[in-house]
Amino acid sequence: MVVALVSCLGLMLAACGGGSDARPDSGMSDGDAGSQIDAGSQGIDCQGVFDCVGLCADGDDPCVKACLARGTPTAVALVTDLVKCGEANACVDENCLSVNCANEIRACGGGTTTCNTVGVPEMTGPIAGLGSDYAAGDPMTVSVPVDEDTRRVIVGIYEVGSNAYLGGTADDAAPSSVKTLDFRAGVVGGAVGTYYLSVELCSTSVCTTPFIRNTYQRADRTASFTSGETYTATNEHVGGPAMTESCPTAIPIQTFQIH
């Protein structure tokens, strides 16, 4: 359905330049799907444009044009970005859109926002064993639960509110397992402050190319930490078809102190 709407909107954007002076009720008769659209609602968002077009009857170009006319300038710009991405990648199915236009789909808030998981290594739960307080240089042991697509786990220590990297470790992992990793909280007499762990998963042993990398990290490393914050997972093909997709997760970020 999303692909059909993108295609339809693409034709209409080309015809009317992303919006026109069409009235919200233009082309809609009481007997077609377009009549279900509330002509009194103005300034709809990007998802609203897609929802509106979804109510138009097949071939009802005036209805589609009216939906575009009802969109805010920002909504029309986001619709245009998604349409251009779909056309640039010659997408004919929703998987193509989800892989190649994930950022545009999320920005719009319309269509499917389900992230691609086929062949993508993923965490299956939160990190276990992480303490709340360590002396600089203390040993750390954590366990990372991973799915059937994971073959290697890499953890890194990052400072909250900056891009500072303190160190970490990596090791191959069995599929559908809980990988235990041992490393240290920096070095004795080293950096102190508030930190958290990033997790990078690879779909091949030793991250041998080509592989899919999935990195669990803060959405904004330099921002202050917010209670209840969860990881954003960014997966990419390395040495394979170009693909980068960032997805929200429900896995909590746990902070700890190094003193």
Q: Which two tokens stand for residue 99?
A: 């892989």
pTM of the model: 0.59
Q: What is the pLDDT of residue 127?
A: 97
The total domain count for the chain is: 2
- Containing domain of residue 201, as a range? 133-258
Instruction: Indicate whether 163 and 91 sit together in one domain.
Output: no
Hey, which residues does 202 pair with through a beta bridge? 152, 213
Q: Are residues 154 and 42 in the same domain?
A: no
User: Do 162 and 97 fall within a single domain?
Assistant: no
Asked if residue 86 and residue 14 are part of one domain, the reply reads yes
Contact 71, 25 (CB under 8 A): no
Query: Which residues pair with residue 200 across a beta bridge?
Result: 154, 215
**107 neighbors 45 (Cβ within 8 angstroms):** no
Q: pLDDT (tens digit, 0 to 9) for every residue of the chain, 259 residues total? A: 445 566 666 655 655 443 333 333 333 333 333 333 343 345 888 878 877 887 887 778 888 888 888 888 888 888 888 888 888 888 776 666 766 776 777 777 644 445 677 789 999 999 999 999 999 999 999 999 999 999 999 999 999 999 999 999 999 999 999 999 999 999 999 999 999 999 999 999 999 999 999 999 998 999 999 888 999 999 999 987 777 888 888 899 999 999 9
CATH number at residue 167: 2.60.40
Backbone angles phi and psi of 135, in degrees to 5:
-80, 145
DSSP E strands in 111-229: the ranges are 133-134, 139-145, 152-159, 165-172, 178-184, 193-202, 211-217
Q: Residue 128: inside a domain, yes or no?
A: no
For residues 13 and 171, give the distance between their C-alpha atoms in angstroms, rounded to a whole number: 50
Query: Does residue 68 belong to any structural domain of this protein?
Result: yes
Note whether 140 and 251 are same-domain residues: yes
Per-residue HEC secondary structure of 83-100 comes to HHHHHHCCCCCHHHHHHH
d(CA 184, CA 168): 7
Establish whether the linkage from the previous residue to 210 is cis, with ω within 30° of 0.
yes
